[in-house]
Amino acid sequence: MLVTGCPLSIVTPHIRQHLSADALFDVVRSDFAQLPDPRYADVAIALTDTLMSACAMFSRKAPSRLAFDKERAEGNVHTIYGIQRVPCDTYRRERRDPLSPTWRRPVFTSVLRQRQRGKALEAMGFLAGHSL
Q: Report the distance separating Cα 62 and Cα 82, nearest Å.
A: 18
Residue 2: band (very low, low, confident or very high) from pLDDT cuts 50, 70, 90: very low
Segment among 10-14, 25-29, 33-37, 109-113 with least mean pLDDT: 10-14
Give mean pLDDT, residues 1-25: 58
Give mean pLDDT, residues 29-36: 85
Q: What is the pLDDT of residue 106?
A: 82
Higher local confidence (pLDDT), 9 or 58: 58
pLDDT at 8 over 60: no
Give mean pLDDT, residues 29-35: 86
Asked if residue 27 lies in contact with residue 110, where contact means CB atoms within 8 angstroms, the answer is yes
Give mean pLDDT, residues 69-75: 75
**pLDDT tens across 101-123, in order?**
787 788 888 888 877 777 777 77
Q: Report the distance separating Cα 69 and Cα 113, nearest Å.
A: 31
Q: What is the pLDDT of residue 81?
A: 83
% of the chain at pLDDT higher than 90: 0
What does the DSSP assignment read for 55-115?
Answer: HHHHHTT-SSHHHHHHHHHHSSHHHHHT-SSPPPHHHHHHHHTTS-HHHHHHHHHHHHHHH
